[in-house]
Structure 1
Amino acid sequence: MDQYGKGGGTREKVEEVAGREGGKAWTGSRRASKDPSIRPKMKSLLWFVTSLVALEMSLAEVHAIPKTSFVRDFVNFYRISRVCVISPDTNPWLSETLRQLIRFPGCFTSAPGVRKGASNPASGNATRPHPAPRFSCRGLRVMRLGTPSERELFKEIFIGEEIRQRWLLVSGSDFPQLLEPVYLPLSNMITIANFSSDGKVATLWESYQVSEHLEQRTQPVGRWVSIARPPHARTDTHAQFESATAGEKLAAEGVFSSHPLVAGLAIPKVVRVERRRLGVGALEAPVDDPPLRRRDLTGLHVRCTTVEYEPLVVLKHHLDGTVRVKGLFGKVFDALREITNFTSTCRRVRDGQWGVEVGGEWRGMVGEVVDGTADVAVAPLAITLERSAVAEFLLNVVASSYGIAMRRPSNEDYMWTVYTKQFERGVWGMMVTVALALGAALYVVSRWSKNECEAHLSESFFTVVGFLFGQGTTLGFHTVAGRTVMLTALLLQLISLAYYTSNMVSALTVGPSLPALNDLRDVHNDPAITFGFVKGTANTIDFRDSSNPLLQEVWRNIEEEDLSPTAPAGMERVREGDYALMLWELFFDMNYGHDCRVFMLPARYFSTYTSFALPRDSPLVPLMNKLILDIVSSGLLRKWWTELSYSTTDCSALEATPIELKTVLTPFLLLGLSALVSLGILAAERSLCQTRTPASLKKYSSVPKE
């Protein structure tokens, strides 16, 4: 049964209380008998009980149990709007607590029934999944803790989501012994009220454990004193606030100092408290977040898994197989360890991957956190929806996006075309056509003009080629037609040589231009380029689970050998050939921003936030998040960023560099080949000349040349 009613003495609440006192589960008119003959009798009985309960409530202030009055003051202090009162059975404390809370305006009160389930005594109330009792509640949980049976009920309930809920346990001085078998994680929100024998004075305590196998730590956090009032004095239902956090006004009145049980209570300075005079008594209670001030984790040993990712994660290997984590994330982890006093042992992740689900099983650092091999992953793990479903991520430490890294073209890549790529094929074709036309025109002019020396066809073409290479000729041009052809050839030489030499000098000095690629689509459409990314990273999830058609097509075409085991290995592959690697932009800038042999395409993808990963529902998450906020707000993170030494180079700046042999090897090879061709032509000419020499002239062949 889980009924809620609003304060002010509503019928459903009174019916519920009356039903519990009568040993029955009354739920109002909704549970009335379906038999019409007894329905009027039920209504009469119900109104009688309602009137009786209303009369008792009017006298509740005089006959109230003091402990229940404290619950009312506690709810009033924190302005709690929903309360669940839990008890293993119906008893006067339960009834009186419900009466007190029902009279409080604006508070929805319920007494949920708890159906006990089979629990595993060996595992206690650890965060591991195990059968839980049926229990439904929203708001503050209030429960009396005075007997072993009540302790066992609390132990059954205090699992899973209930660990992170707010609890008020009403107990006595033996509460440490009662709670000893119960695991109280670091992030629990339990307040324990330790009452005096008369129930008019109480001290407030908190208890927690750094880990399941360490002892419970208990500290006082507040106190409550019932204030005697005149019999007919009006009790306000609203709190009277005191602005002073140390309670100077109340202390001057002697409210707390007059009671030995609370007068000497030493509340730690880290607990921020406020004192308020309320409807029944005066209450001093914490107003901060308990898990965020529990910074002393002495005795806790943390196992971490990590991966090399310079300069964010730099690993120093030890002989025993462990590593020391340095770099930016190492400094953050060391700061967390120094503040909280825990110890740690770090190891490199076994499979070298970051964290991806394959066949229903998580691998990499996320997999080691999920299966319990590690307590934390110290690396810039991308926070994704899939990973967040199985692990807890701390607040963002570093944010960046992904880009595509490629090899920058160089003159060495154009060994055979470095001296021909200055013009496109169409320009080269046009130049050859014009040269042939000029050669033919020169031959026609020399044959048909009466004042020009006749030239052979081969001599005409060689003359035009000589003009193009800046050479002269022994031929004389005496006519306007011949001189026009000659000037046209010289003009062609001037234009072509000017464009060619300027482009070639620029290419040899600055290097070739970047390829005409802008984004992933251009890379995917180029069959000469192989695309890949680092294996086991968030990119696997980005491509595999994406609904984008382009990403899906790229994922279908990726082979296992296209993936790189690590980012440095992938960049080596980029330098070697036609390989495009998707890489974190920040990592590329810090490690390869000075290397002009590689560049990154302008398009960016998958903006991500990265941080540490912890097991799901880890009690360390709230505290670690608070500490990271302190590190960021104090400027330490910015300081550590400035200490990272990395530089970038403007590869577009003009800088003359020596020309390598590989760049000029092609023209030297052509020169050598031309020399060999000329020798071959010489041999052919001598052979042809000997064949065509007349027999009458052979007698002069033995005459030596003068």
Structure 2
Amino acid sequence: MCSRIARKTKQEFCKEDTVWERWVRKVFVGTAGRSATYTGRLHSVDTEGVAGRLLVALPLFTQDHAHHLSQLLGADVGDHIFLLAITSTDFLDFLPLVHFPLLNQATVAHIKGERVMLWEFYQAGPDGERRHNYMGGWPLRGQSHQALKATLKEDVVSRRTNLTGLHIRCLTLKYSPFLLVQELDDGTLRLSGWMGDLWQEVQSRTNFTYNCVYPEDGNWGKLQNEGGADGGGGGTWNGMIGELVAGLADVIVAPMDHTFQRSTVVDFCFGFTSLRYKLVLRRPTSQSYMWTNYTREFEAEVWVVIALFLIGVAFLVFCTTRFSPSETHVVTLGEALLMTLGSFCRQSTSLNVSSGAARAVMSIIYLTTTLLFVYYTCFLISNLTVSSVSPPFTSLQGVYDDGTYDLGYMKSTSINEVFQFAQDGIYRLVWQHLVEPAYAYLPRDDATGIERALAERYVHLIDETNFLTEYADHCDLLMLPNAYHVTPTTFAVSKGSPLRRVLNHHLTQLRETGIFMKYWHKWLPKQAHCPSRKVLTACTLTNVMTAFLQLLGFSVLAFTILAVEIYISRKHKVK
């Protein structure tokens, strides 16, 4: 066996000529192709600059060899280093000296006579039972190197399915319908829901054990006192992310949103679903517009334009009757203003005009006020008789422009990064003016946010599926159609943990075999059963309250003016 480290090619090999040496050379030519490392004693592997995957062969004849193999298996050499341990002795005597990590990429080639048998070993945990997979046996002079080549191409995780003896510590939080939690009498947590069922399915296939707990502070995970937008420069994590980073758990079994900050400290499984965050507010009713029933037919800007129009055309009527040579009666400015206002209210006038200019102005007044009156009355009639009220806004921009609503979301979730680190646009404006000033008052959970939405002028951002599961039948709530944050969500594991590849493998199998959709349909939110609000109803006092208050106000004004006029008249008579 070569006793030094050397890089070999198809033309350059060690000079020993034993049967198994010739087999090793054949393996290198057939498997590595371009280059490989063939060594009898290896303390470290320099992987820098290595193109593709590297095959490392080493002997397994003595305890010393076993120690070297264990050192390599314990080193972080990456996924592109494959170890081939060659032995022709009873190697089982040496195995207790070697720890085989769960996803190690070592193959033991046991050469016995004219045959070679391929084995692989792994342990689910540091103290776990050593398990083996027999890959097969072939004649040395046959195509055994092709079998090894096929083995190296296959992901080892597909063969590491028995995780008996592995105990996983997990963190979780309830989030319907993805994760439901039941507290048992013995203090343990039973998981269900869509993700909970998927987790139980993976557990039943691999036979590991687990124990789930809530995070101590009840949060999902946010960087506290961060030193920069990229999460660098210090800071500590709270919630489930913080406990996972601290090594208090191995995996988060909950719909954990992917964010850049989180990805720097934990690893995510593949995102097998997405959360879509939408705006939810209290559904408006006719009482919501009790004081604006007779003014919300037009926007404030339109009312200003109408007022300017009425004043402008009144001035035109005054000018045309004042300066037209064919006009016999001059209409005062006060009469003109009263006439245009009456025209807007569809009232006729006793004023007579004879000039062409004045009649043209009167035509303009008539046509314009007719259009305004038709639109106003159509909106007013439908508003008073049909109980279907439009929301005060339909977008995030509308919430910001309205200025009378607060906006929030559940603390320590991925939505915070969307607003806090936005450079410009509506997200930045909402953060600066609506969220940041009231950040300390953001709700701890969605249930608190929904309560605020029902009691206050408050808009809550919540995942669409979670809302449809928990509050679809709450007919006093309204979810706006646009989604303002869509993010993949999945399980999370400690940085560099082999559990990520294990979970990804089994979750991929569940998706490809239809188990994903089976459980999804089991937990799919049911359709809401809120009655239709587009029904004809009798006008209530709330609908017409503004009209009566206006009548009362103008009546008081009229009597006040009358009293002033009587007072002035009597004062003049005395003089």
TM-score, shorter chain, exceeding 0.5 = yes
Match of 2:415 in 1: 539
Indicate if the aligned counterparts of 2:251 and 2:493 stay in contact, CA closer than 8 A.
yes
Deviation of the 1:190 alpha carbon: 1.8
Indicate if the aligned counterparts of 1:169 and 1:191 stay in contact, CA closer than 8 A.
yes
Match of 1:632 in 2: 511
2:311 matches 1:397: no
Deviates more, 1:212-221 or 1:156-165: 156-165
Alpha-carbon separation, structure 2, partners of 1:469 and 1:554: 41
Match of 1:620 in 2: 499
Match of 2:131 in 1: 217
SS in 2 for 1:399: strand
Tell me which amino acid in the other structure corresponds to 1:503.
F
2:528 matches 1:645: no
Alpha-carbon separation, structure 2, partners of 1:672 and 1:219: 92
Alpha-carbon separation, structure 2, partners of 1:647 and 1:587: 13
2:392 matches 1:511: no
Match of 1:183 in 2: 99
Alpha-carbon separation, structure 1, partners of 2:420 and 2:353: 75
Match of 2:488 in 1: 609
Deviation of the 1:641 alpha carbon: 2.6
User: Within 5 A, what are the aligned runs for 1:342-491?
Assistant: 342-358=208-224, 359-405=234-280, 410-423=285-298, 424-426=302-304, 429=307
Indicate if the aligned counterparts of 1:80 and 1:139 stay in contact, CA closer than 8 A.
no
Match of 2:20 in 1: 67
SS in 1 for 2:381: helix
2:43 matches 1:114: yes
Match of 1:99 in 2: none
Alpha-carbon separation, structure 1, partners of 2:540 and 2:90: 86
Match of 1:194 in 2: 110
Indicate if the aligned counterparts of 2:54 and 2:82 stay in contact, CA closer than 8 A.
yes
Deviation of the 1:613 alpha carbon: 0.9
Indicate if the aligned counterparts of 1:201 and 1:224 stay in contact, CA closer than 8 A.
yes
SS in 1 for 2:7: coil
SS in 2 for 1:416: coil
Deviation of the 1:310 alpha carbon: 1.5
Alpha-carbon separation, structure 1, partners of 2:531 and 2:395: 17
Match of 1:154 in 2: 69
Deviation of the 1:216 alpha carbon: 0.9
The TM-score, its normalising length taken from structure 2, stands at: 0.74
Q: Which runs of no fewer than 5 residues in structure 2 stay unpaired?
A: 225-233, 323-333
Deviation of the 1:167 alpha carbon: 1.6
Match of 2:202 in 1: 336
Alpha-carbon separation, structure 1, partners of 2:351 and 2:311: 26
2:14 matches 1:4: no
Deviation of the 1:642 alpha carbon: 2.6
Alpha-carbon separation, structure 2, partners of 1:305 and 1:171: 44
Indicate if the aligned counterparts of 2:70 and 2:100 stay in contact, CA closer than 8 A.
no
User: Within 5 A, what are the aligned runs for 1:216-235?
Assistant: 216-227=130-141
Indicate if the aligned counterparts of 2:7 and 2:38 stay in contact, CA closer than 8 A.
no
Q: 1:548 to 1:169 in 2, by over 3 A?
A: farther
The TM-score, its normalising length taken from structure 1, stands at: 0.62
SS in 2 for 1:354: coil
Deviation of the 1:685 alpha carbon: 9.9
Aligned Cα root-mean-square deviation (Å) = 5.0
CA deviation profile, 1:10-33 (whole Å, cap 9, x unmatched): xxx7xxx6xxxxxxxxxxxxxxxx
Match of 1:297 in 2: 163
Deviation of the 1:139 alpha carbon: 0.7
Deviation of the 1:400 alpha carbon: 4.5
Q: 1:70 to 1:515 in 2, by over 3 A?
A: same
Indicate if the aligned counterparts of 1:85 and 1:141 stay in contact, CA closer than 8 A.
yes
Higher-Rg member (1/2): 1
Deviation of the 1:497 alpha carbon: 5.4
SS in 2 for 1:420: coil
Indicate if the aligned counterparts of 2:315 and 2:336 stay in contact, CA closer than 8 A.
no
Q: Which runs of no fewer than 5 residues in structure 1 stay unpaired?
A: 18-56, 89-112, 116-132, 228-239, 241-275, 445-457, 695-706
User: Within 5 A, what are the aligned runs for 1:493-508?
Assistant: 498-508=374-384
Deviation of the 1:498 alpha carbon: 4.0
Aligned length: 534
Indicate if the aligned counterparts of 1:406 and 1:601 stay in contact, CA closer than 8 A.
no
CA deviation profile, 1:663-692 (whole Å, cap 9, x unmatched): 443334445556777888899999999999
Tell me which amino acid in the other structure corresponds to 1:189.
Q
CA deviation profile, 1:310-345 (whole Å, cap 9, x unmatched): 122222233455432222111211211222222322
Match of 1:237 in 2: none
Deviation of the 1:469 alpha carbon: 7.3
CA deviation profile, 1:607-644 (whole Å, cap 9, x unmatched): 42221111223223333222212211122222333331
Match of 1:598 in 2: 478
SS in 2 for 1:515: coil
CA deviation profile, 1:229-276 (whole Å, cap 9, x unmatched): xxxxxxxxxxx7xxxxxxxxxxxxxxxxxxxxxxxxxxxxxxxxxxx3
Alpha-carbon separation, structure 2, partners of 1:72 and 1:169: 14
Deviation of the 1:214 alpha carbon: 1.7
Match of 2:59 in 1: 144
SS in 2 for 1:142: strand
Indicate if the aligned counterparts of 1:306 and 1:348 stay in contact, CA closer than 8 A.
yes
Q: 1:332 to 1:479 in 2, by over 3 A?
A: closer
Tell me which amino acid in the other structure corresponds to 1:370.
V
Indicate if the aligned counterparts of 2:310 and 2:337 stay in contact, CA closer than 8 A.
no
Match of 1:28 in 2: none
Match of 1:54 in 2: none
Alpha-carbon separation, structure 1, partners of 2:345 and 2:261: 67
Q: 1:645 to 1:551 in 2, by over 3 A?
A: closer
Indicate if the aligned counterparts of 1:534 and 1:566 stay in contact, CA closer than 8 A.
yes
CA deviation profile, 1:20-64 (whole Å, cap 9, x unmatched): xxxxxxxxxxxxxxxxxxxxxxxxxxxxxxxxxxxxx4xx55xx2
Greater relative contact order (Cα < 8 A, sep 6+): 2
Indicate if the aligned counterparts of 2:408 and 2:461 stay in contact, CA closer than 8 A.
yes
Indicate if the aligned counterparts of 2:9 and 2:35 stay in contact, CA closer than 8 A.
no
Match of 1:166 in 2: 82
User: Within 5 A, what are the aligned runs for 1:11-50?
Assistant: none
Q: 1:363 to 1:479 in 2, by over 3 A?
A: closer
